């Protein structure tokens, strides 16, 4: 399988490709307000985003984006469905929150890539901000899958704890049965005598 690679003058900057790292950008602008020209490629096959961040080359196969079509959403909601996010998602959420954003509209992920803004001196353009580069593991699951597994584990523990309580209560009842409650005897009524003197 061949991958599509965007490249320009490779002598200008070093390659940012690095196995096991994912570089992340985020936007707080509603996706539907960003012009199509931002995503359009020029004659060299380079889009405005790559040009703006002085990215000379990247593998399109390694890019992933996620977000909401309009408005913003909590960072976790945006990142949790992204590939391998259980390994780096919490770090991304923390960093974006530290940048002052509790919500974003969309994110760009570039896997096997370590963008270095200290070299380019470019931290943002008109539409996105560079968040950072994070270690990722291809064996990791998504944050959403991890949350589902944790919820299932917690439910299993809750059921097991309830079963243990029920078993303990049954054993206690068997060891110390409750005393039988004696039913009160009905009062005895003396039969009436046929003796006319007793009235």
Residue with the two structure tokens 């690095």: 18
pLDDT at 180: 66
pLDDT of residue 15: 83
Task: Give CA–CA dist 20/104, Å, rounded.
Answer: 25
Check if the beta carbon of residue 122 is closer than 8 Å to that of residue 95.
no
The domain limits of the chain are 5-139, 141-175
Residue 189: per-residue pLDDT: 61
Other CB atoms closer than 10 Å to residue 104's CB: what's the count? 27
Find the mean pLDDT for residues 89-106.
96
**Which range scores top for mean pLDDT: 34-48, 96-110, 169-183?**
96-110
Q: List, for residues 49-89, the tens digit of each pLDDT value.
A: 999 999 988 898 999 999 999 999 999 999 999 999 999 99
């Amino acid at each position: 399988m061949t991958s599509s690679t965007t490249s320009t003058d490779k002598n200008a900057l070093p390659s940012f490709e690095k196995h096991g790292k994912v570089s992340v950008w985020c936007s707080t602008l509603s996706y539907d307000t960003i012009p199509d020209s931002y995503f359009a490629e020029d004659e060299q096959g380079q889009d405005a985003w790559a040009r703006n961040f002085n990215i000379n080359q990247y593998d399109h196969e390694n890019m992933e984006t996620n977000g909401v079509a309009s408005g913003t959403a909590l960072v976790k909601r945006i990142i949790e469905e992204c590939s391998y996010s259980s390994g780096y998602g919490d770090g991304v959420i923390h960093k974006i929150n530290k940048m002052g954003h509790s919500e974003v509209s969309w994110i760009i992920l570039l896997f096997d890539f370590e963008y270095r803004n200290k070299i380019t001196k470019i931290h943002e353009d008109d539409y996105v901000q560079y968040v950072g580069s994070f270690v990722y593991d291809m064996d990791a699951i998504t944050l959403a899958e991890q949350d589902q597994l944790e919820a299932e584990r917690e439910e299993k523990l809750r059921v097991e704890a309830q079963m243990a309580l029920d078993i303990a209560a049954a054993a206690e009842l068997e060891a110390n049965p409750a005393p039988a409650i004696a039913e009160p005897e009905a009062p005895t009524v003396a039969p009436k005598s046929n003796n006319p003197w007793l009235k």
